[in-house]
Structure 1
Amino acid sequence: MPAADTAARHRGEARHTDRPRGAADHAARSAAAQPRGESGESGRRRYHPAIPAHIDQTRLPSGIYFDARGRGRWYLQYRDEANRLRRRNVADAQATLDELRQIATERDGLARDSLAYLAAAFHAAEQFQQLAPRTQQDYAWCRKLLIEMPTKLGKPLGELPTRQFQPALVQRLVDRIASDGTPAKANHLLRYLRRLFRWGINRGYCDTNPARGVEAARERRRRRLPELETIEALTAFARERGQRRRGEAGACAPYLWIVMELAYICRLRGIEVVTLTDAHHTAAGVHTNRRKGSRDSVIRWYPRLRHAWDAATRHRDALWRARALPVPKEAAARPLIVAADGAALQKSSLDSAWQRFIRLAIAERVIRPEQRFGLHDLKRRGITDTAGTRHDKLEASGHRSPAMMDVYDLSVPLVPWPGYRAEAV
């Protein structure tokens, strides 16, 4: 294996062991199928007892690793556009050696007719590099969502040939995403596909633009502002159902009610909540970690905020103790919100858990279908409920532009009548 690949692999292992699982714990429960020649001076592959017995370890292709945690899974490591090491699961523990070798064969090169290949060519092109930085970030987000999106064929959308993309397929994709309560996201991806295929047609990568003529999702003109009674009912429901065992009928993620509280109190986006760590805990309050250029602020401690924060740390610490996971020394390495395996909760996992929870709440008649709202609407409710002047709300929200207050502050000002004089009252 080249030296660069060897270094990347070691950096990848370090990245995994830096998580709460710890180096010793990870080594005991997870085995990496090492490429040939990486096992020491003898040049032989080191035997790993955790690898499934039906796999001949001496014939394993290089660059494929086995994670023995849970039910076990095979994965690849690669670097993204920002040169960050990423991991992609490629098969479960039942995969055969032939299947793993086929995966390794396809790893080094995308099929030239696939959506992923078209997207890779577009993002490497000069036309893409000339786009504004924010547009490039937006397109990179769209690309990742699309090429990793699962399909009924058992492979991600990015592996499908571009010739299989028809307007009907793109329309179903848009409709499905919009039906999850995210029409803006659906339209975002639709605009990206239109641009991507138009670029591909002009440069000979594809023959048609299947996104052209597809109906956009209908976005809500009225920005949702959930009623306080609705928020309270959902928070209580999430708290009660979060106490049920995982997998039990009617259960929901135990962290959902905490995320709701922090999003409302601190006026945070979902991604900003799940990336909170112990380092954001200060003597004065919670130091926010806002995105999209917003200014950070410190939300002062008060009983409701303290209760939510302490509940999150108790849940996390109990989970780490139950799994015998070591506690990272640095506060910034201790995530506040964790998944069932003890690792930091991912935004995609939070979104999925939220949609399941909302569907459960509607089915249980906790709320009506027209009362459903997104996590982001809790930030809007928190800004609207902030007392004080418009400047006070601007400081609390972290927005740099007063124009953004029209999006988030839906309160109605109380103003005096014509000719009002304070001294006359």
Structure 2
Amino acid sequence: MALLNKRTANHFPSHIDSDKLPANVGYDPRGKGRWYYRKSSGRNNRGTAFRFGSSDTTLAEIWQQVEAIETDTVGTFKGISLKFQESRDWSRLAKRTQDNYLKLHKSICATKTKTGTLLGDIALDAWTPGTVRRYLETRAKASESVATAEIRYIKRVFSWAISMDYYLKPNPAKEIKLTRLNPLRTHYVQDADYYLTIAVAPLLVGLAAHMAYLTGRRRTDILNLHRSQLTNDGIEFEENKTGKLTVVAWSDELRDTVEILKSEAGDSVFLFPRRGSPSEPMTDSAFDTAWQRVRTRVRTEGGTPCQFKDIRAKHASDLETDDEASLSLRHSGRSVTRRHYRRRPTKVVSLR
């Protein structure tokens, strides 16, 4: 046995025979007690500590944990990024977010350093705020938006790794300041432009836009609308982004819109079924293509085209008060609602 901290040996739980412990195992008696393991010993070569168990952990369980750590240890950014992609946190992300993250992972890991080593293969202990900053400045020369997205992903992966004890230093990307790339969007969709958009859009696309306006829900939640969400009280939405459950109460117009959707969907359980595959919802890419055509048509007709998310802002803007808008969008405070979604211009009277 090779204890990392011999001073703690006297504090081992009474049911543990210290002579039978694996090498490089230590015990922290504080609180409920925690065991920890390092892959090597010595002040200059101790490496990352992996904490597990409690005072009740048996000797057999300690051996099992050490063996699992030995085979599961990751020491590079590529390693912790891949682990993140196998995690429960990852499984709860929207498919579109996962796809974007996979692209960022590939780009980051494939970047070569000055020494010719791939960034994804650099040891975790070599990552510093300076490493991240230099990467940001280099990538920003080609594209600031891509650089910003990649740094956000690096920050998220390290944050997750810290929570899982894969990385025990401060997050090297935490203090990196990212410049706001896009100005605050303030476009308010005028009624004439909104109704023109609905008129020139294909039926399902126009109905999706109208549902977004009536309910204030995001596009993903609209396109994945399932018949089981239709209740006596209204439409139940479990928001894909936040997981919050919202029930949008019925109005005559909302009922009429849903009835049209049910008729168009036929036997599909989804109100916006995928063309050729009615057992699946419409894909984001298919909707994106259709929406771009709608924007072009609106411009041709002399209107001002809008982004689909502008319709959610129109919903919030057309409500009477900030409180109503904040409640409808399920924001925790009014500041986000006012800043990003209340876009209707304020009218004031002139002095004369």
Length-normalised TM-score, structure 1 = 0.43
The one-letter code of the counterpart of 1:308 is T
The one-letter code of the counterpart of 1:235 is I
Instruction: Report the counterpart of residue 399 of structure 1 in structure 2.
Output: 331
Matches within 5 A, 1:7-406: 119=78, 121-124=80-83, 144-145=99-100, 147=102, 161-163=110-112, 174=143, 189-192=149-152, 218-238=181-201, 242=202, 254-290=203-239, 291-292=241-242, 294=244, 296-303=246-253, 305-317=254-266, 320=267, 334-341=269-276, 342=278, 343-362=280-299, 364-367=300-303, 371-387=304-320, 389-406=321-338
Contact in 2 for aligned 1:383/1:408 (Cα 8 Å):
yes
- C-alpha separation in 1, matches of 2:141 and 2:283: 26
- Relative distance call for 1:314 and 1:141 in structure 2 (3 A) is closer
The one-letter code of the counterpart of 1:391 is D
- C-alpha separation in 2, matches of 1:197 and 1:167: 16
Contact in 2 for aligned 1:224/1:377 (Cα 8 Å):
yes
- C-alpha separation in 1, matches of 2:283 and 2:81: 27
The one-letter code of the counterpart of 2:275 is A
- C-alpha separation in 2, matches of 1:393 and 1:366: 30
Shift of 1:256: 0.7
Gaps of 5+ in 2: 1-75, 113-117, 120-134, 160-177
The alignment partner of 1:296 has SS state of: strand
- C-alpha separation in 1, matches of 2:235 and 2:228: 9
Gaps of 5+ in 1: 1-116, 150-155, 176-182, 200-214, 243-253, 321-326, 328-333, 417-425
* Bigger radius of gyration: 2
Q: Deviations over 1:182-201 (max 9, x none)?
A: x7xx57524346659999xx
Instruction: Report the counterpart of residue 27 of structure 1 in structure 2.
Output: none
Contact in 2 for aligned 1:234/1:361 (Cα 8 Å):
yes
The one-letter code of the counterpart of 1:384 is S
Contact in 1 for aligned 2:187/2:343 (Cα 8 Å):
no
- C-alpha separation in 1, matches of 2:218 and 2:262: 20
The alignment partner of 1:297 has SS state of: strand
- C-alpha separation in 2, matches of 1:217 and 1:355: 26
- Relative distance call for 1:231 and 1:190 in structure 2 (3 A) is farther
Shift of 1:281: 1.8
- C-alpha separation in 2, matches of 1:232 and 1:374: 14
- C-alpha separation in 2, matches of 1:158 and 1:404: 32
Contact in 2 for aligned 1:234/1:366 (Cα 8 Å):
no
- C-alpha separation in 1, matches of 2:297 and 2:141: 24
Contact in 1 for aligned 2:219/2:308 (Cα 8 Å):
yes
Length-normalised TM-score, structure 2 = 0.51
The alignment partner of 2:281 has SS state of: coil
- C-alpha separation in 1, matches of 2:156 and 2:337: 33
- Relative distance call for 1:167 and 1:158 in structure 2 (3 A) is closer
- C-alpha separation in 2, matches of 1:335 and 1:173: 41
The one-letter code of the counterpart of 1:338 is P
- C-alpha separation in 1, matches of 2:310 and 2:180: 19
Contact in 2 for aligned 1:174/1:216 (Cα 8 Å):
no
Query: What is the percentage of aligned positions where both structures have the same residue?
Result: 12
- C-alpha separation in 1, matches of 2:198 and 2:248: 24
Shift of 1:232: 1.0
Instruction: Report the counterpart of residue 67 of structure 1 in structure 2.
Output: none
Count how many residue pairs are aligned between Structure 1 and Structure 2. 234
* RMSD, aligned α-carbons: 4.7
- C-alpha separation in 1, matches of 2:98 and 2:229: 31
Contact in 1 for aligned 2:212/2:222 (Cα 8 Å):
yes
Shift of 1:366: 4.5
